[in-house]
Each structure stands twice: as C-alpha cells, then as structure tokens.
Structure 1
C-alpha cells in the first residue's frame, strides 16, 4: 500500500509538471519580455535548486518519498537551508511555467502541484522522523521549502 501511494504521488507530480509545460497558453495577463525573463530566471533557479538537492542526497537519493533504509540523514549543503530542496526547485520551476502560460488553468495546476508536494513532504517527513531520531531537531531548525519557514515544532 505504501509503495502504491508513493508511485501515485510521484506520477501525479510529473503529470502536473507536464501539464504546466503543455497546457495551451492564454492571455490572462500579457506575456511581456519581463514575464519571459522572470520565467527563465525561475526555471533556472528551480533547476539549480533541484539539482543541488539531488546531488546533495548522494546514497540517500530515491525517486520515491519512502526513505532508503539505512541511508544517512543529509543536513548539509542545500539541506542546511531547506529540508526539501528538490520540491522547492520543482515548485519554483513550475511557477515559471505558470507565469508564461498566462492562464487560470496554469495557476490552478501550479497550486495543485504545491499542495501535492506539501502533502508528499509531510508524509516523507513522518517516515524520516521514524528512521532518523535526529530529524525532529533538524526539522525544528530548518524550513521545509524556504529558509526559516515551515519548521517543525519541537
């Protein structure tokens, strides 16, 4: 059951990201050169943050939100700033796609992605607390998606 939920969540996140990329563009707001620049910056920032998160995990990396057994708890590098940098990167890049899409459907899809990743992160954190006794202290010091924001209550 746990594995099936993990696969469903990962699949849903990829569907939402693909939807952001391929939904028809609209004219809810003008896509000016400024919007294009902001979109590019958000996409690049999101990619950099996500890649730093992937590289930072090392042997703890898994596509599933279910932590690898006996993998070390990573709290350094980008993980010293935020607990879920890969999700932060996906949300940031997704926001860029929503801006360039200029539609209400893009905004709703991005909000669905944010809600999905927030729920996925909370589920993952419950498992990490069980696996790593130090995770609760780490979570009380480090924000979930943004530095200092979304810290766990100690």
Structure 2
C-alpha cells in the first residue's frame, strides 16, 4: 500500500471514530459538574482546532502525506506542539465522553488516541523526509502537548 492510500485509510478511520464518539446515543447525565467538566475539555479543544487549522493555511490536509506545495509551520501553536489539530480533536472528543460518561465512548476515545499516535508517527516520518529541519523541530516540540523545559 502506498503512502497516500495508507493516509486515506487512516483519515477514514479517524473520522469514523470521531463520528462514533460524537454521534453515539447515550443516556443523559443530569449532573451539572459532569456537564461543566466536559465543557472544560470541549471549549479549549475547539479553540485549539480553530487556530491550528488557521495557522496551517495552505499546508492543511487531513491526509498525513504532506502537500507538495506545503511548507513546514513552526510558529503559533506549532511552536509548542507538532500536532495541535490532533490535540484539539482529542480534547473535544474527550469532553464529549466526559459529558455522557458512557464507557463505550471512552473505549472509542482510546482507539482514537491510539490511531492518532500511529498517524502522527507515520506523518512525522514523511515530514522528516520532506523537510531537513523537521528532526530538530521534533527535538524542540512535543507531539500532542508542549515539551517541558
């Protein structure tokens, strides 16, 4: 399987897991602090997603294979984290899991986490091959969360 096809499979799996988490019916939990707890993950997740997508600009693609015309972004959120879009997705979907407290949603969230770790590693291999400075960038930044100094 070539890189583009593998990337497409990963994207389909990613969106299927996100859909399963967000659209799966679950019993309503009428506990205000649980609802607020979910919002505390969802809100920053959506904000991180928005700014990450905006900062990538023309380099944005859901497929882990970098665009031919793309460039390496090392500013904004990308100054601190290599994959802030994945960070935002994980936070927002975790918030949905917290709000529902459905075990099956948490199961799908852990599958999403595993998939995004795999996808990020695959993407990083391709980015390192395309951009000579990517290996140094990896040493300075965390994958999903900022690296402590």
TM (norm. structure 1) is 0.89
Q: Determine whether 1:14 maps to 2:27.
A: no
- Mean Cα deviation higher: 17-26 or 77-86: 17-26
List runs of 5+ in structure 2 lacking aligned partners. none
Structure 1 residue 132 displacement after superposition = 0.4
* TM-aligned CA deviation for residue 84 of structure 1: 0.2
**Shift in Å, 1:57:** 0.8
Query: Which whole-Å CA distance do the structure 1 matches of 2:100 and 2:48 have between them?
Result: 22
Q: Deviations over 1:111-140 (max 9, x none)?
A: 000001110000000000000010000100
Superposed displacement of residue 22, structure 1: 2.1
Q: How many residues align?
A: 147
Which blocks of at least 5 consecutive residues in structure 1 are unaligned?
150-154
- 1:83-123: CA deviation from partner (whole Å, max 9, x where unpaired): 00000000000101111221211111000000011100000
Q: How does 1:112-131 map to 2 (within 5 A)?
A: 112-131=111-130
For 1:71 and 1:130, how far apart are their aligned partners in 2? 13
Which structure's relative contact order is higher, taking Cα pairs within 8 Å and 6+ residues apart?
2
For residues 63-99 of structure 1, what are the alpha-carbon distances to aligned partners after superposition, in whole Å with 9 as ceiling and x for unaligned?
Answer: 2111012422100000011100000000000101111
Matches within 5 A, 1:77-96: 77-96=76-95
Partner of 1:5: 6
The farther-off stretch of 100-109 and 89-98 is 100-109
Shift, 1:41, TM fit: 2.4
Deviations 1:3-39 (A, max 9, x none): 2211111111111111111223248xx6511111121
Partner Cα distance (1:102, 1:7) in 2: 31
Structure 2 length as normaliser, TM-score?
A: 0.92
